[in-house]
Amino acid sequence: MPRGRSTFTKRQKEQARQQKQRDKTEKKTQRRQDQPDGEVGQQVDEMQEMRELAEAQAALFRIGSDDEPNSLELLAPRKPADQ
């Protein structure tokens, strides 16, 4: 008994959907395999560079502030002078 056109169309549509899903999964897997190698090293380099720049900037702010209390001295409780 022959099937109707709507059955054929539905079957074709479902097969296309399944193929798209397989292709998408394959691309996703490929991206995951390619990504970690290069990006992790690059991120480490960027973080190291940011730390070095932050340290250099902090050093600039510390210049000439020897007579001013640092943040640790401000947080420490002071003893009254009369005791």
User: How would you write the pLDDT of the chain (83 residues) with one tens digit per residue?
Assistant: 567 889 999 999 999 999 999 999 999 999 888 876 556 667 778 888 888 888 888 888 776 555 555 555 555 566 666 65
pTM greater than the 0.75 cutoff: no
Q: Number of C-alpha atoms within 13 angstroms, CB side, residue 31? A: 6
- The pLDDT, as a whole number, for residue 22 is 95
Closest C-alpha to 30, from 40, 22, 41: 22
The phi, psi pair for 76, rounded to 5°, reads -75, 140
Amino acid 38: pLDDT = 56
Structure tokens that stand for 46 in this block: 């960027």
From CA 79, how far away is CA 2, in angstroms rounded? 99
**Cα angle vertex 82, ends 77, 83, to 5°?**
70
What pLDDT was estimated at residue 4?
A: 80
